[in-house]
Structure 1
Amino acid sequence: MFGIGGGELVFILFIVLMLFGSDKVPEIARTMGKAMAQLKNATNDIKSEIHKGAEANGFDSQTLTNITGNINAQINEAKTNLLGDTTSVSTNLLGDTATEIDKVKEDIETISGPVKRQK
């Protein structure tokens, strides 16, 4: 839920309770619920108007889906061209880092030799 964990949610609820008091919290929750319902209804109305307009101009839902898919593919291709392939960069970076760490471990072991810490 919006990247908020359980502890963070409890903390936010505690702050809201402290700011507004226990008598105002149910009223605020009701108002927020009504606002969310109105937002959802408005979004659905806009979607239906877009679909009606598209159908009136000869586009069906399959055509719109194909157009949307093509646009998303072009956006992803542009991102790949601009940013490059980030998975290969991270894999190479991790591989190089692991190699360097192994070299340092070997150097430390050769320097310390048979000396071990005693408990």
Structure 2
Amino acid sequence: MNAVIRLACALAVALGLAGCYVYPYPAPVPVDPMEQPFAAATGALQDVGLTVVTADRSTGTLRGTRGNVEGIIEVRMRPDGRVGVEMKARDPDNKAPGLTDRMAEAYNRRMGR
């Protein structure tokens, strides 16, 4: 009797698995390595109080202004495949000292660093 129960259980499992179908795993969607750094740079300009006036994804250049103060962030792919970020500030009247450092801090915060 014990052998009959085992056979019945094995048959039930085999029939249950016969109805299963394994779907192919979809290929991962390629992620643009510039996407997160570009978004973080845009947010960083806003975080330091600048209005984003230029955000050109094709060149990786972002520009934000507030009066005569201007912050520029360039996001570029390096030859080694890593993303490079360069920040500059123009402040002719010295109204926003340390702007480049504040942009870098805001950018790093948004990148989770």
TM-score (norm 1): 0.27
Flag the structure with more relative contact order, 1 or 2, with Cα contacts below 8 A and sequence separation at least 6. 2
User: Which structure shows the higher helix fraction?
Assistant: 1
TM-score normalised per structure 2? 0.28
Higher share of residues assigned strand? 2
